Amino acid sequence: MLGLNKKDASLLVVVAILVVCAPILLNPFPENSSLAQFNAGYPDLMQRFVIFGIFAIGFNILFGLTGYLSFGHAAFLGAGSYAGMWMMKLLSINVIPAIIFSTVIAGVISLAIGWISLRRSGIYFSILTLAFAQMAFALAASVLTPITGGETGLQTNLNDPRILPEFLGGGSAVDGNIPKPSLFGIEMTASFEIPVAGWLWTFNWGYYICGIMMLIAFYVAIRIFRSPFGLMLKAVKSNQQRMNYTGLNTRPYMLACFVISGMYAGLAGGLMAAMDPQVGAERMQWTASGEVVLMTILGGVGTLIGPVLGAGLIKYFENIFSKINKATLEVWFGVFPDWMSDFFVTIVYPFIGKGWHLTLGLLFMGIVIFLPGGLVEGGQRIRKLFNRKSSDASAKANPAE
């Protein structure tokens, strides 16, 4: 199917089903139950899941395939966001030009940065990309204020020109309001809700557009992983020197890979701007680059599905875990005697709520130390464990064989 082998095709289908059914699957608890705060099926968070999924998939194409650790990917994300915003200010409120333009701009910028940074490898490459990203961040926050809005950021305004005709999303205002980003008239924030026996499922247009983009991005990533080009990149990871000695110039391959990865980041940035039309410079800060590294490692470097899992996990932590407060904990541990519940609350409290970064850091360290392959490797190990047990059992059951 679509030039994929059976295994990859089934992976793509599974991911597609998950993306389509996410509003249902991520809302496992009834609306009024005490566990409802663990529901992640609201549009804003689901959009973030898939957008950061795209970002992490793109990062993984670079880091997972070639082993080049870029600490500057947030620059492309930010550049994509700014580019998308400008399209929505100048051309039309339709998200399609915004998404296309953000991807292209990020591609151009990553071509320039990659051209220079890829002269070096290893830690020097990391430092170079970091330096470029920090420069981009500092400039966006100060000198480039006419383009980026500086500290206040960039928003859509009432008096933006939006020169395209009305039916393509042009026009500066709708009924005196700032128009919301839309796709041929369907607003990104529009959603319809289906209440089913206590559950409330929200199907949001913006989420599905992001979801479709992620599926396309995922499909392209699979094709890259399985292509001769991907094989070349893997060869760079395992031994670049040998590649050079066999007479192959790896530079063009590396540059192409870097640009593709940057374009993924730009696409994610453009989608972020399209879902929530405001951009600030902090999106380019190096901590944002660090976050995508965390996502990729948590999920599993060099695997197809890993980065998406990692992105989902971190965004889930950031939005759900950070909301748990002391009172909630006291309710949970209320079943125990007082002294015991106090003890548990004191132990657990530093790790949740505002301290979720601590849990994240510990989890991350644990993964790097014990599970270098991330969650995906963890899953594989568990499956292997079960397989061995069942095969042992079958061996015992049929000793005669």
Partner 1 sequence: MDAIVLQILNGLDKGSAYALIALGLTLIFGTLGVVNFAHGALFMLGAFCTVTLSRILTLSHEVVDPTRKDFLGNPLKVDVPYIYDWFGESTGAAIIDWAVPLSILFAIPIMIGIGVLMERGLIKHFYKRPHADQILVTFGLAIVLQEIIKYYFGANQIPAPAPQAFVGSLDFGALVGFEPGAIIYPYWRIVYFCFAMLLVGAVFAFLQFTTFGMVVRAGMADRETVGLLGINIDRRFTVMFGIAAAVAGLAGVMYTPINSPNYHMGMDFLVISFVVVVVGGMGSLPGAVLAGFVLGILESFASMRQVIELLPGVNQVVIYLAAIVILLTRPRGLLGRRGVMED
Q: Give the interface with partner 1 as residue ranges (CB under 8 A).
A: 67, 69, 116, 119-124, 126-128, 130-132, 134-135, 138-139, 141-144, 286-287, 290, 293, 297, 350, 355, 357-358, 360-362, 364-365, 368-369, 372
Closest to partner 1 by CB, 124 or 167: 124
CB of 240 to partner 1, least distance (A): 9
Tell me how far, at minimum, the Cβ of 362 lies from partner 1, in Å: 6
* Closest separation in Å from C-beta 373 to partner 1: 12
Q: How far is the CB of 272 from partner 1 (least distance, A)?
A: 23
Residue 186 vs 358, nearer CB to partner 1: 358
Q: What is the DSSP letter of 281?
A: G
Q: What angle do CA 168, 103, 312 make, to 5 degrees?
A: 105
Which helix (H) or strand (E) covers residue 52, if one does? helix 43-66
Q: Which is nearer to partner 1, 143 or 385 (CB)?
A: 143
The answer to whether residues 199 and 128 touch, using CB atoms and an 8 Å cutoff, is no
Under a CB-based contact definition with an 8 Å cutoff, are residues 318 and 298 in contact? no
Q: CB of 91: closest distance to partner 1 in angstroms?
A: 28
Distances (CA, A) of 47 to 17, 23, 264: 16, 11, 16
Minimum CB separation of residue 358 from partner 1 in Å reads: 4
Of 119 and 242, nearer to partner 1 (C-beta) is 119
Residue 160 vs residues 147, 163, 166, 188: alpha-carbon distances, Å = 14, 9, 14, 19
Q: How far is the CB of 32 from partner 1 (least distance, A)?
A: 33
Least separation in angstroms between residue 399's CB and partner 1 is 42
Q: Which is nearer to partner 1, 40 or 293 (CB)?
A: 293
- Count CA atoms closer than 13 A to 288's CA, side-chain side: 22
Q: Which is nearer to partner 1, 266 or 374 (CB)?
A: 374
Which residue lies nearer to partner 1 by CB, 150 or 171? 150
Ramachandran region, residue 198 (left: φ > 0; alpha: ψ -120 to 50; beta: rest): left
**Residue 34, both tokens:** 């005490």
What is the Cα–Cα distance from 99 to 94, expressed in whole angstroms?
9
- Which of residues 146 and 337 has its CB atom nearest to partner 1 in the complex? 146
55 with 311: CB under 8 angstroms?
Answer: yes
- Report the SS3 class of residue 223: helix
Looking at 118-250, list the stretches that DSSP marks H as alpha helix, in order from N- to C-terminal side: 122-141, 145-148, 205-226, 228-238, 240-245
